[in-house]
Structure 1
Amino acid sequence: MSEEILINFTPMETRVAVIENGMPQEIYIERAERRGIVGNIYKGKVVRVLPGMQAAFVDIGLERAAFIHVDELPLPDDFAANGKGTLAINRLLREGQSLVVQVTKDPIGTKGARLTTHLSIPSRYLVYMSGNEHIGISQRIEDADERDRLRGLVEAVVAGLDRETTGGFILRTVSEGVCEAELSQDVQFLCRLWDTIEEKIKSLSAPSCIYEDLPLNMRALRDMAHSGIERIRIDSKETFQKSIDFASALVPEIDTVLEYYPGERPIFDLYNIEEEIQKALGRKVELKSGGYLIFDQTEAMTTVDINTGAYVGHRNLEETIFKTNLEAATAIGRQLRLRNLGGIIIIDFIDMVDEDHQRQVLRTLERVLEKDHVKCKVTGVSELGLVEMTRKRTRESLEHVLCESCEHCQGRGSIKTPETVCYEIFREILRQHRAYDTESYLVLAAEAVVDMLLDEASDHVAELEAFIGKTIRFQTETMYSPEQFDVVLK
Structure 2
Amino acid sequence: MAFTQDILINWTPQETRVAIIEGGAVQELHVERTLERGLVGNIYCGKVARVLPGMQSAFIDIGLERAAFLHVADLHSEDHGNRGGRASDQPLPIERRLHEGQTLMVQVIKDPIGTKGARLSSQISVAGRMLVYLPQDDHIGISQKIGSPEQREQLRTRMQTLTQEASAADGRPAGGYILRTNAEDASDDDLRADIAYLRKTWSIIREQGLKSAPGSLLYQELNLAQRVLRDLVGDNTQSIRIDSQIQYEDLLTFGQEYTPSAMGKLALYRGERPIFDLYNIDQEIERGLARRVDLKSGGYLIIDQTEALTTIDVNTGGYVGARNFDDTIFKTNLEAAQAIARQLRLRNLGGIIIIDFIDMTREEHRDNVLSELRKQLARDRTKITLNGFSALGLVEMTRKRTRESLAHMLCQPCPTCEGRGQVKTARTVCYDILREIMREARQFNPREFRVVASAAVVEMLLDEESQHLAGLSDFIGKPISLQAEPSMSPEQYDIVLL
TM-score, normalised via structure 1 length: 0.98
- Alpha-carbon distance in 2 for matches of 1:301, 1:127: 31
Aligned AA (2:440): Q
Q: For structure 1, which runs of at least 5 residues remain unmatched after alignment?
A: none
Contact 2:45 2:62 (8 Å CA) reproduced: yes
Correspondence 1:202 to 2:210: yes
Q: For the residues of structure 1 that align with 2:76 and 2:142, how far apart are their CA atoms?
A: 22
Residue 238 of structure 2 corresponds to 230
2:416 is the counterpart of 1:416: no
SS in 1 for 2:279: coil
Q: Distance in 2 between matches of 1:467 and 1:324?
A: 60
Cα distance change, pair 181–80 in 1 and its aligned pair in 2 (3 A): closer
Name 1:382's counterpart in structure 2. 390
Q: In 1, are the aligned partners of 2:111 and 2:119 still within 8 Å (CA)?
A: yes
2:237 is paired with a residue whose SS is coil
The whole-number CA distance in structure 2 between the counterparts of 1:28 and 1:316 is 41
- Runs of 4 or more consecutive aligned structure 1 residues displaced over 3 Å after TM superposition: 79-87
What root-mean-square deviation, in Å, do the aligned CA atoms of Structure 1 and Structure 2 show? 1.4
CA offset at residue 352 of structure 1? 0.8
> Which residue number corresponds to residue 45 of structure 2?
43
Residues 82 and 91 in structure 2, CA contact (< 8 A), matched pair in contact too: no
Is residue 117 from structure 1 mapped to residue 122 from structure 2 by the alignment? yes
Please tell me the residue identity of whatever aligns with 2:298. G
Deviation of 1:469 after TM superposition, in Å, equals 1.8
CA deviation string 1:152-209 (max 9, x = no partner) = 2211211212233021000111112222111111111111111111111111110100
Matched residue SS, 1:377: strand
Residue identity opposite 1:287 in structure 2: L
Aligned to 1:61: 63
Q: What residue number does 2:262 align with?
A: 254
Is 1:138 equivalent to 2:146 in the alignment?
no
CA separation in 2, counterparts of 1:370 and 1:360? 15
Deviations 1:211-236 (A, max 9, x none): 00001010111100112211000000
Q: Which moved more, 1:290-299 or 1:88-97?
A: 88-97
Which amino acid in the other structure matches residue 6 of structure 1? L
Q: Please give the residue correspondences for 1:20-419 in structure 2 after superposition, counting only pairs within 5 Å.
A: 20-75=22-77, 76-78=81-83, 87-161=92-166, 162=169, 163-419=171-427
Q: Any conservation in 2 of the 1:166–1:191 contact (CA below 8 Å)?
A: no
Give the SS at the match of 2:272: coil
Aligned residue for 1:473, secondary structure, equals strand
Match of 2:453 in 1: 445
Deviation at residue 420 of structure 1 after TM alignment:
0.9
Indicate if the aligned counterparts of 2:164 and 2:174 stay in contact, CA closer than 8 A.
Answer: no
- Is the 8 Å Cα contact of residues 63 and 215 (structure 2) preserved in structure 1? yes
Alignment partner of 2:55: what SS?
A: coil
Of all paired residues, the percent bearing the same amino acid is: 53
Q: Give the match's secondary structure for 1:52.
A: helix
1:87 to 1:337, Cα distance in 2 relative to 1, 3 A: same
Tell me how far 1:144 sits from its aligned partner.
2.1
Structure 2, gaps ≥5 residues long: none
Normalised by the length of structure 2, the TM-score is 0.96
User: CA 1:80/1:436 → structure 2, altered by over 3 Å: closer, same or farther?
Assistant: farther
Say whether the 8 Å CA contact 2:82–2:90 is kept in structure 1: no
Q: Distance in 2 between matches of 1:140 and 1:252?
A: 22
Give 1:416 shift: 0.9
Contact conserved, 1:79 with 1:87, CA < 8 A, in 2? Answer: no
C-alpha contact 1:71 1:84 (8 A) present in aligned 2: no
Selected match of 2:444 from 433, 436, 442: 436
The corresponding residue for 1:466 is 474
Measure, in 2, the Cα distance between the counterparts of 1:83 and 1:150: 28
Aligned-partner residue type, residue 23 of structure 1? A
Query: In the superposition, relative to structure 1, how do residues 140 and 82 fare at CA in structure 2: closer, same or farther (>3 Å)?
Result: closer
Aligned length: 490
Return the letter of the residue paired with 2:104: L
Name the aligned partner's letter for residue 105 of structure 1. Answer: K
After TM superposition, give the deviation of residue 310 of structure 1 in Å.
Answer: 0.4
Aligned counterparts of 2:273 and 2:351: Cα–Cα separation in 1: 37
Cα distance in 2 between the residues matched to 1:306 and 1:79: 55
